[in-house]
Chain A
Amino acid sequence: MKKAMLVMVHGSPRPIANTDMYSVVDVVRERGLYPVVEVGFMECNEPSIPEAIVRCVEQGAQRVVAVPYFLHTGNHVTDDLPTLLEQAQAQYPNVEFLMADYLGHDPLLADIILERAAQAQVG
Chain B
Amino acid sequence: MNVGIMIFMSDAIILFSHGSVLCGAGQNLAELAARMEARGDAAIVDVGYLNYTEPRFPETVRRCVERGAKRIAVVPYFLVAGKFVKEDLPSFVAAAREKYPDVEIRMADAICFHPTLADALLACADRAREPGAWRDTKAQAASYCRASARCPLYGSEDCPATRAAEVVV
* B77 and A113 contact, CB distance less than 8 A: yes
**Given the complex, which residues of B lie within 8 Å of A121, measured CB to CB?**
8, 106-108
| Contact yes or no, B131 A17, CB < 8 A | no
Q: Are the C-beta atoms of A79 and B135 separated by less than 8 Å?
A: yes
Residue-wise interface mask of B (105-125) relative to A, using a CB-CB cutoff of 8 A (1 in contact, 0 not)? 011111111111111111111
In this complex, the interface size class of chain A, counting residues with CB under 8 Å from chain B, is: 35 or more
Q: How many residue pairs, one in A and one in B, have C-beta atoms under 8 Å apart?
A: 187
Q: Does B61 contact A (CB under 8 A)?
A: no
Q: Is A91 an interface residue (CB 8 A)?
A: no
Could you tell me the distance between the alpha carbons of A31 and B119 in the complex, rounded to whole angstroms? 9
Q: For residue B153, give the distance in angstroms from its CB to the closest CB of chain A.
A: 9
- A contact residues around B29 at 8 Å (CB): 72, 104
A65-109 interface bits toward B, Cβ cutoff 8 Å, 1 = contact, 0 = none: 111110111110111011001100100000001111111111111
- Given known A-B contacts A20-B79, A78-B135, A111-B116, A119 and B122 have beta carbons under 8 A apart: no
- Report which of A78, A105, A116 forms a contact with B111, defined as CB distance below 8 A: A116
Q: Smallest CB–CB gap between B128 and chain A, Å?
A: 4
* Pick from B8, B20, B79: contact of A21, CB under 8 Å: B79
- Among B34-42, B62-70, B159-167, the one that faces the other chain is B34-42
Do residues B131 and A86 form an inter-chain contact, with CB atoms below 8 A? Answer: yes
- B135 / chain A contacts, CB cutoff of 8 Å: 78-79, 82
How large, as a class, is the contact surface on chain B? 35 or more
Query: Known contacts A114-B36, A117-B108: does B82 contact A17 (CB below 8 Å)?
Result: yes
Q: Which of A24, A78, A86, A119 is in CB contact (< 8 Å) with B137? A: A78
Complex: A98 Cα to B25 Cα, angstroms: 23
Residues on B with C-beta less than 8 A from A110 are 32, 35-36, 39, 41
Instruction: Spell out A's residues near B (CB within 8 Å).
Output: 5, 7, 12, 14, 17, 19-21, 23-25, 27-28, 31, 33-34, 65-69, 71-75, 77-79, 81-82, 85-86, 89, 97-123
Could you jot down 11 A-B contacts, CB within 8 Å? A21-B79, A69-B121, A74-B25, A81-B134, A99-B134, A101-B128, A110-B35, A113-B75, A114-B41, A117-B75, A121-B106
- B residues contacting A by CB (< 8 A) are 1, 5, 7-10, 13, 15, 17-18, 20, 22, 24-25, 28-29, 32, 35-36, 39, 41-42, 73-75, 77-80, 82, 106-131, 133-135, 137-138, 140-141, 152
5 A-B pairs with least C-beta separation: A27-B118, A120-B106, A98-B128, A78-B138, A117-B73
